[in-house]
Amino acid sequence: MVEIDNGRDDMLIDGQRLGNAATDGFNANYLKLYYGKLFPHADIFKWLSYANDGKHPACDKSYFGRREFSFTLDNDIYLRFQSFSNESELENSIKEKCPFKIDIGPVYSVDPAKRHAYSQSGNNVFTPVERELIFDIDISDYDNVRYCCSGADVCLDCWPLMTVAIKVIDISLRDDFGFNHILWVFSGRRGVHCWVCDGKARRLTNEQRTAIADYFRVYKGNENSSKGVSLTGHALHPFLVRSYTEVLKDFFETKLLSSQNLFSTQERYEKILEMIPDESVTSEIRGKWESSKRSSISKEDINVVRWEQLKHTLQSGQKKAQGLRRCVEEIVFSFTYPRIDMEVSKHMNHLLKAPFCVHPKTGRVCVPIDPKHCEEFDPTLVPTLSQLLEELNIGGLRADDDNECDRTSLGKSLSFFRSSFLRPLLKSCKEEMESLHNAKLQQSKNSLSW
């Protein structure tokens, strides 16, 4: 029940006075109400069941109960290997424990909560057998190519680096690997998570996951490396060509150059000149730029002007030496190519934060991102916990408590999750299950008739 107390600015929800939800930060009491009224328990259960919900004769009724959940409670109390046999158990435990964070792990060979009983038997039967292919990308890993923010801070000037990562990886996962059921999620603060949920993705071995992660591994830079990317060979891989021509080049030249002022100071352009292996070329360019400082100020963007000069010098006829051939592309890749946390993608047993969690530092909900319109996503407009409860408060008493989420700014995100991701996924899972079931029936029938 949501009540309005007109005598004060704060909220009274289910008898709890919360303070002004529009101005207060993250609050454990808010979290209790969020899990009670807005968190999509049923949708999370449907997703992670993959149609193994007991309704089809071929479904695996133990499937969901072998999934690991990890809860982080207040004061950094960490509960791993939580498991639940059904939706009701999951929902009741979340509402009771009110975790500050929910992480999702793999599906194990046995119920993870009972793993100790199996370990005592002497047989190593407790092992991950299924897990979504996952990717984790943080904006803080781009600190050496952004000047507006650093660390966990993010703004609308540097966030487009995440948009580029989504575009490059999403296109490749679909076109190069044939995956269809891909969920992109805002981490709540500084990055994005990707869940690839096709059956063939969930059943990949660690070696296969490593191979896919390595396929995406182009950025190899560190703080001691002037050249973060080395594009070797006579011809670029078609995936890299597509990424460069369709996404990276345009983004670098039309947005990043100016938003980060990459050539505006000597300190900044020297970082770029260090990526050129020919000292005579860098001296020529440096001399041109130093002399231009003393000339009249141009109305043109200095970042664009200097980039065009750099490109012209590197790509002119006499400069087409083997070592310089790809310098332009390598600079663009160094600044824009996705920087994936490789270890997260390589191993089945890595945990990843559940969608629709609330980030404890920002109070923002980890909402899905539509990869088809990811350039429209604004992390500063993602609903916060206090904002959602304020929206419920404004709505007042309603009889249709089941649709409370629709009365908040979370409704649109949940609707997208259901219509664009969950329904097509479950349809595919049921078709696969039915196909396998019919094949087994036919096989059985054939053996009997023989």
Question: Which of the residues 24, 91, 132, 138 is marked catalytic?
Answer: 138
Residue 14 appears among annotated catalytic residues: no
Helix ranges, 78-221 (H): 87-97, 115-119, 160-175, 199-202, 206-215
Q: Identify whether the C-beta of residue 339 lies closer than 8 Å to the C-beta of residue 140.
A: no
Q: How far apart are CA 400 and CA 37, in angstroms?
A: 12
Please report, to the nearest 10 degrees, the dihedral formed by the alpha carbons of residues 382, 385, 389, 392 taken in order.
Answer: 40
Q: How far is CA 48 from its chain centroid?
A: 17
Q: How far apart are CA 219 and CA 226, in angstroms?
A: 12
Q: Residue 449 corresponds to which tokens in the numbers above? A: 């008739």
Q: Identify whether the C-beta of residue 301 lies closer than 8 Å to the C-beta of residue 295.
A: no
Question: Which of the residues 87, 136, 141, 330 is marked catalytic?
Answer: 136
Radius of gyration of the chain (CA): 26
Half-sphere CA count of 192, side-chain side, radius 13 A = 28
Q: Residue 10 corresponds to which tokens in the numbers above? A: 């704060």
Pairing of β 101-108 and β 128-130: antiparallel
Residue 153 appears among annotated catalytic residues: no
Residue 136 appears among annotated catalytic residues: yes
| 76 Cβ neighbours under 8 A, 6+ residues apart | none
Q: Identify whether the C-beta of residue 10 lies closer than 8 Å to the C-beta of residue 21.
A: yes
Pairing of β 2-3 and β 77-82: unpaired
The one-letter amino acid at 378: D
Q: Residue 229 corresponds to which tokens in the numbers above? A: 């990317």
Question: Which of the residues 24, 53, 68, 111 is marked catalytic?
Answer: 68
Q: How far apart are CA 156 and CA 158, in angstroms?
A: 6
| 88 Cβ neighbours under 8 A, 6+ residues apart | none
Helix ranges, 347-421 (H): 385-395, 411-416
State the catalytic residues. Answer: 68, 136, 138
